[in-house]
Structure formats: C-alpha cells, structure tokens
Amino acid sequence: MAYRVCFVCTGNICRSPMAESVFRARVAEAGLEDLVEVDSAGTGGWHEGDRADPRTVSVLDEHGYDSEHIARQFQPSWFSRLDLVIALDTGHLKALRRLAPTEEDARKVRLLRSYDPAAPDDLDVPDPYYGRRDGFEECLELVEAASAGLLTAVREQLGGRAA
C-alpha cells in the first residue's frame, strides 16, 4: 500500500500545487514513485476546478517541474486514506487539525518547513498570490529547501512499514 502525502494551502492554486510538483519530482528521483503518492488541496473551494495560478505554472516550468494541476478542496474524509497532511502555513495547520475527525488524524498534520533544518522560527511559506512573481520564486526556494527533509522522513516511515 502506498504512503500518501497531501500538501494543503488556501486555494490550491499557488503554494500546495508547487509543493506537490516539487515533492513528486523528489520522490521520482529517489525511485519511490511506486511507494509514495503525492497530492494537494486547498482549505477552501474558491478555485475548485481551476488550473494553478499562471505564475506558479511559469516558475515550475522554468525550473523543470511538472505543472499539470486542477484545484480542489480538502475533505475531512480524506484523513482516513492519508498518512501525512502537509500544511503550508500555521493557519492551514490549525484549520486542518480542527477538521481532523480524530486525534490520530490531527497528528498527521505537519508544517512543510518543519522539515527544513535551516528554517527560522517562522515556519510559514508566505502566500505569493497577492504579490509579484518574485514571491513565487521565494515560495519555490522554501518548498525545495524543505523537500529533502520531508523525503527523509517519508523514507523512514516506509522503512518502518517494511519492518
């Protein structure tokens, strides 16, 4: 059974699809695509059915990442099939933990930047939506910096499953 990771931001058109694309690439580079499923969603449904923000698509394309994406809203029922729910900021973390049906489900929710050992005390990935393109570049840098640590954590979980 695959290990399932879902990245969550506000509308699922900027940060979470970017994190999904980057992490999916890291999983593929590690040869784990048959063992790890990567997904994303938003806490709200405002953009459901939309493609990712054009600035997200542009930054991902320029850096060699897949940018195919359709936005959707996170559903509490998903907790039962997910192993890890990655929040992009503390607001998402709190919202997702409130949605969690059980304490066990709430413990599945983690902040992305908590996997970056060089991250400062503020673990939020800032929302680039209302800014300029450079905010999307910064978002990508923060996501990439945390992805290696997240991959290490997922590998540890996969090793624990095999034991």
- Give the contacts of 6 (CB within 8 A, at least 6 positions apart): 38, 39, 40, 41, 74, 78, 82, 84, 85, 86
6, 14, 15, 26: the catalytic one is 15
Q: Is 61 among the catalytic positions?
A: no
Q: Is 139 among the catalytic positions?
A: no
50, 72, 127, 155: the catalytic one is 127
Q: Is 113 among the catalytic positions?
A: no
**Are 46 and 72 contacting, i.e. CB atoms less than 8 angstroms apart?**
no
6, 9, 14, 139: the catalytic one is 9
DSSP character string of 46-84: TTTTPPPPHHHHHHHHHTT--------B--GGGGGG-SE
Active-site annotation, residues: 9, 15, 127
